[in-house]
Structure 1
Amino acid sequence: MGIHVIKMPDIGEGIAEVELVMWHVKVGDAVTEDMILADVMTDKATIEIPSPVHGTVAMLGGAAGHVMAVGADLIHIEVEGAGNLKAQAGAAPAHAAPPPPAPAASPAPAVAAPTTPAKATQAEVPVPVPAAPRAPASAPARVAREAGERPLASPAVRKRAWDMGVELQFVHGSGPAGRILGTDLEAYAARGVQGGSPSTATGGYRENHAEQAIPLIGLRRKIAQKMQESKRRIPHFSYVEEVDVTELENLRVRMNEQWGKERGKLTVLPLLARALVVALRQFPQMNARFDDDAGVVTQYGAVHLGVATQTDSGLMVSVMRHAEARDMWSSAAEIGRLADAARTGKATRDELSGSTITISSLGPLGGIVTTPVINHPEVAIIGVNKIVERPMVRQGAVVIRKMMNLSSSFDHRVVDGMDAAQFVQTIRGLLECPAMLFVE
């Protein structure tokens, strides 16, 4: 018998460290060739690491959340034959992985994508195993798991468990490799209420004393670092204006009725992108990036429009290149393509970096007012709130109009308040009189 060592791969792009996001195996597990062993992350790209051999897991090189150097031992697998590392005589075949480090507060690097044949995937964000809570005598039987062992479950099952107040550590999994299925969760919950003791309140409600300590790892850590860096370095100020989008919506509906089947459906975003491109002709200082270390602001003729996209793993900013050269249908198609790539974990480095100004929208959940965080090192971000019908006074009469707020943030080091207000008012004018979007 021998030991086959798998080292942390070189993902490319000059990256020296990679975060270990999730293990799919544990010490003692039998593995086969091409079986996925672990998920690792560099910036916002998650990579699956497959096994090149058959054997048994002898050692894990780190725990979820551990940042490892490229070339470090990722995993040892005991194999038939000599392997690529001679096992030391008398040495234990396995040892526990080191605990995950505390989340770093360093700035997030530029978004990267894999350049090796390893497959990119959108991995579930791991949740650490908490200490077992106190439970009444009537609580369901608990599953014995080793300390530090993380139960396998899909993101949907994890969310359902969180909503139900159930700790997956104590749920038996009937799926492959002990994966916890939705039916396992429901069966566990049906056998009793987890945690706490009966409350003295009426109605049979129980107190819930469950606690979870959830370190930020993987994409969630990258987002936290990026947001912290943006807020630390950029003195934000926000400007909110309401926009009457009644005519814009009428135009959008009419265009979809006439050309939607052959050209695709339009949402508000491509129309807003067009308004932004036109407005930037008068305010090029908004389409810029500020290198505050060098004290240099770079203005761009090209509008590389960042579009904030919510994914199951967190917020990602996809970049629509050369928005100034696209019509609305081309913009709509590209926004849709980029959003799909981000949500499926297939976005490339170029598709997730290099934006010069960003639009952020939560769609129907957009609220009335937001204070969006600037996508560092840009100097402006335009936030789109939801469209609502409200009574408005027009020419002395109360009428129902479709209204939408724009909540925008600017870097006060390089953008004055007056310029920001005029910029937003220009966008407002274009959206309220949408014919001006097509006037060259």
Structure 2
Amino acid sequence: MKKGIVVIAGVSAVAVFGMWFTQNAYESSVTDALTRNADTYSNMGIKLEKNAIAASFTRIEDEYTLTLTEQFFDQMDMPALYAESFDITISNLCRVYPFYMSCENEFSLPEGTLPDEFVEKLQGFTYQAGWSFSPLTNSVSSYLNTDGFTVENDGTPLEVAPLTLSSNSDLAFESLNTQMNWGGMTFNDSLTQIDIDNVNVNGDMTRLTGITYLGTSTVSIDNMVFNTADGESFSAKAINVTSNTNEYETGKYDVRYVATSSDMSIGGGALPIDIAQLHTDIRLYGLSEKALEMMNSFQGNFIEQQDMLTEMLNELGKNEPGLAIDNFSASVNNVPVSIKGEITFDQFTAEDVDTGEIAAKSNAFLNGNVGKEVSTALPQLVPMLDQYSQMGMAEKDAEGNYTTEITIKDRTLSANGNVLQQF
């Protein structure tokens, strides 16, 4: 009997300790993360604060306030939409267990953020959000799921398919693995057709600094169609875009982009374009950590402010960057085309870009090919290509294929060895 009591007491002590340890790990990790990322959020015009609402040994209730300031909307080029800052409130209700906690989230926007007429048109929108945490493994699993819903638009519904988003990370988000699947959306009226089918996003990343991560992310879309009443159109199938950011030498980083699509069509212009078996493989290298961080911030802010662009170009030019085109190939209107090569730069500044001196600080070798099928598929281009051949800027073989080699070296631009321009 006494042994049983001792065992029960021991288990209870472990359970109590586990619950205390879990709460303490949660509080300290969140505090550290908010403090560490405060400057990054501030530069983006974002404030994130945590407020404790209630707590007991088995339950924690917090409220996170995400403030989007006027600076944020200015950077997003949306000052007319939201002239003042506003708060997004995230309620966080957690149940605490020994060495584990499970939380549910609810999101609230300020009253009037969404126009009443839009809310009335929104039918069937529901969501579930939450996360769980284990301090023993320092692992966090989170999720956000939405059901399919409809937005009525003057009798023509916008159909939005369900979305599932999940992630696994440590509490400090030093490593992050994400998966998203969205069924897409459909909208068809007399003026516009939009169809997006099955979007998948996957990421496996490790934090470098701030909100800049190294690793791989992939986006795939089964099908996209955009048509307008004036005849403009775009469609694509089996789209896959992968980006990989890597430290290939100490202090030097590269970003590699690989994009493919089985079929793509662009209409509405003078010459409709059909592209099949598109494959691009491009690598930007020679990036410093600061340049990589600035590129990420620039993309995230959606702005083209001259001072920020100037600073980014100055930083980019310090490490003698380069661009490798390992593959760019496709069948364009049934004509095979391809480009391969590399462009490298000596150290340069933003002023060199503005004045055109950047051309004198570049070296390039590009090989381009156009298939013989051009003579039947795009006969209007043949006179121009033949003229380039006669000028020695391209070569035409016995079967009718065209090739050219473009080089930039010693301030000289050449095509197939023939000088075109000197800088």
TM-score normalized with structure 2 length: 0.27
> Which of 1 and 2 has higher RCO (CA within 8 Å, sep 6+)?
1
Larger radius of gyration: 2
In terms of fraction of residues, the more strand-rich structure is 2
